[in-house]
């Protein structure tokens, strides 16, 4: 689904990656950990084409992505949850924000209304349709951001710290949701317990290198939950 081939990225003096190779396949449930500032968010933004690599290649769904036009399909089918919900939400109301993506895909209004209602309900946000987005609490904003991603029914999700600032029952709801069959995702998180319950493989980003973390599998996913 996603392949980085010798990808390189630096900001001024700061080298984030050099010759980074990474391959993500259908059905993968992957965690990405690393220190603050190690480049995790940058890696997601490279995959989405929001930043350009200085070296190497990015392939998504088997297609080499270089120009802005190449990333159009990526942005329709890869769901990025931004680390900061204020980067994700830009409409006056919750319903408009969640409907924005599906409407852009050309889905009929009635179907979009049903998607909005169902997605909000799945996240425990029933009745939030007319709430004013910028007045939501931090946790509510993160959940609505997740709703905007799920509403697109992406082939794969890139979730940048999905549970930061969420209370325990809400985190639990997200764990349950992620454990449903057929999903593919990458999760950046500093919460090892959350990762142990939602991912099968974890990678560590440090000094520009992406390496697999060898840990015994957590109380994780049964074979039936794999795609
Ligand atoms: N547009 C930019 N211009 C210059 N430097 C940047 C830019 N974006 C990110 N950086 C720097 O690159 C480094 C990596 O940032 P990034 O946000 O990818 O880290 P991260 O691993 O996601 O950290 P955190 O765990 O704190 O979210 C940081 O030192 C950051 O200051
Ligand atoms: Mg980050």
Domain hosting 59: range is 2-87+156-225
Determine if ligand 1 sits within 6 Å of the CB of residue 52.
Answer: no
Read off the pLDDT of residues 24-81 as tens digits, 9 standing for 90 and up.
999 999 999 999 999 999 999 999 999 999 999 999 999 999 999 999 999 999 999 9
Number of domains in the chain: 1
In a domain, 26, yes or no: yes
In a domain, 55, yes or no: yes
C-alpha–C-alpha distance, residues 95 and 30, integer Å: 30
In a domain, 134, yes or no: no
In a domain, 122, yes or no: no
Which phi and psi angles does 120 have, rounded to 5°? Answer: -65, -40
The CA 160 to ligand 2 mean position distance, Å, reads 7
The CA 199 to ligand 2 mean position distance, Å, reads 18
Rounded to two decimals, the pTM is 0.93
In a domain, 125, yes or no: no
In a domain, 94, yes or no: no
In a domain, 201, yes or no: yes
Task: Look up residue 60 and give its two tokens.
Answer: 């998504």
Nearest to 125 by CA among 93, 91, 100, 161: 93
Share of the chain above pLDDT 90, in %: 85
Determine if ligand 1 sits within 6 Å of the CB of residue 39.
Answer: yes
Considering only CA atoms, which residue is closest to atom 13 of ligand 1?
37
In DSSP notation, 114-162 reads HHHHHHHHHTT-TT-TTSBGGGS-HHHHHHHHHHHHHTT--SEEEEEST
Q: Is the pLDDT of residue 209 over 50?
A: yes
What are the C-alpha distances in Å from 21 to residues 55, 123, 153, 211? 12, 34, 27, 10
Determine if ligand 1 sits within 6 Å of the CB of residue 41.
Answer: yes
If you search the block for the tokens 């993160």, which residue do you land on? 142
In a domain, 128, yes or no: no
CATH of the domain at 17: 3.40.50.300
Instruction: Kindly give the number of the ligand 1 atom that is closest to the alpha carbon of 83.
Output: 27
Read off the pLDDT of residues 161-204 as tens digits, 9 standing for 90 and up.
999 999 999 999 999 999 999 999 999 999 999 999 999 999 99
Ligand (nearest to CA of 37) = 1
């Amino acid at each position: 689904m996603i392949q980085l081939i010798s990808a390189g990225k630096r900001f001024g003096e700061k080298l984030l990656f050099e010759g980074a190779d990474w391959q993500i396949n259908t059905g993968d449930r992957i965690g990405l950990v690393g220190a603050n500032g190690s480049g995790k968010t940058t890696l997601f933004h490279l995959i989405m084409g929001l930043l350009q690599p200085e070296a190497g290649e990015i392939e998504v769904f088997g297609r080499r992505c270089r120009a802005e036009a190449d990333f159009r399909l990526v942005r329709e089918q890869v769901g990025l949850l931004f680390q900061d919900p204020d980067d994700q939400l830009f409409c006056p109301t919750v319903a408009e924000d969640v409907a924005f993506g599906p409407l852009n895909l050309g889905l009929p209004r009635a179907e979009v209304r049903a998607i909005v209602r169902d997605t909000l309900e799945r996240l425990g946000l029933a009745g939030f349709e007319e709430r004013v987005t910028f007045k939501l609490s931090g946790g509510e904003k993160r959940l609505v951001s997740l709703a905007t991603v799920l509403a697109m029914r992406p082939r794969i999700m890139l979730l940048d710290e999905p549970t930061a600032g969420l209370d325990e029952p809400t985190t639990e709801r997200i764990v349950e949701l992620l454990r449903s069959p057929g999903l593919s995702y990458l999760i950046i998180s500093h919460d090892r317990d959350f990762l142990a319950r939602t991912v099968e493989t974890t990678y560590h980003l440090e000094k520009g290198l992406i390496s697999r973390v060898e840990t015994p599998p957590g109380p994780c996913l049964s074979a039936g939950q794999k795609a």
